[in-house]
Amino acid sequence: MQELFLKNFTDFIFLEDEPRRSDVIFVPGNGWPQMAQRAAVLWKEGMAPWILPSGKYSIINGAFDGVKQQQDRYPGPYATEWEFLRDVLRKEQVPEEAVLREDNASYTYENAIYSRQVTDRMGISVRRGIICCQSHHARRCRMYYQLLYPEAELLMAPVDTEVSREDWYRSERGIQLVLGEMERCGGQFYQILREISNLPS
């Protein structure tokens, strides 16, 4: 029974798809370089003409929280997550003209909201998109971006940072991260679902 519960949690949170030719690659804001590095690889493989990093900084911290890994390669300073992610892409040889700009979002839902504003403003019709995020954020990222791109097929191209689907339940940190994502998928969507359903406050 324990194994079944673990499988259900794991399959719900950790999503991954085979990348296919898309209209844009999304990179939700963060301080880890691996997601932008993955996006750069996909761009070089011709998976999409555009990369759209998104993020100002965490609404909780009120400032860019710093680079989480490979600080020697990305010393900064960076004022926003977008500025950091753009630097990662630049060092991965992605040209400036392929990188779109969204540097106002301060949490994941805003990443999706403001990214939609950017693609609409640019006249980019997103029929298929790729999302490069941390692996334990994959479910929540897909849910948010799917709300803003209901007509699009969204493919997940996650990267393991602190935990993976194979080991998350073997550490206190992993349990906190994954079960915290389970809670957020319900708690953060509570108000969204109320708004969608036009329920009174």
pLDDT value at position 121?
97
In this prediction, residue 183 carries a pLDDT of: 87
Domain ranges of the chain: 14-163
* pLDDT reported for residue 194: 75
Hunting for tokens 């339940």 — which residue is that? 169
Amino acid at 173: R
**In 10 A of CB 116, how many CB atoms?**
17
Secondary structure of residue 12 in the 3-state scheme: helix
- pLDDT value of position 103: 97
Exposure string over 130-167, b if 16+ CB within 10 A, otherwise e: bbbbbbbbbbbbbbbbbebbeebebbbbbbebebebee
Residue 184: predicted pLDDT: 86
Q: Is 198 left (phi over 0), alpha (psi -120 to 50) or beta?
A: left
Residue ranges with strand state E in the chain = 24-28, 51-54, 128-131, 153-156
The pLDDT score that the predictor gives to residue 132 is 98
Q: Are 43 and 25 in contact (CB under 8 A)?
A: yes
Pairing of the two strands 51-54 and 153-156: unpaired
- Enter the pTM of the model: 0.92
Q: Give the residue from 69, 65, 78, 77 showing the smallest Cα distance to 107.
A: 65
Separation between Cα atoms, residue 151 and residue 154, nearest integer Å: 9
Per-residue pLDDT of the chain (201 residues; tens, 9 = 90+): 578 889 999 999 999 999 999 999 999 999 999 999 999 999 999 999 999 999 999 877 888 989 999 999 999 899 999 999 999 999 999 999 999 999 999 989 999 999 999 999 999 999 999 999 999 999 999 999 999 999 999 999 999 999 999 999 999 999 999 999 988 887 777 777 777 777 666
In degrees, to the nearest 5, what angle opens at C-alpha 136 toward C-alphas 133 and 140?
75
CATH 3.40.50.150 fits 14-163, yes or no: no
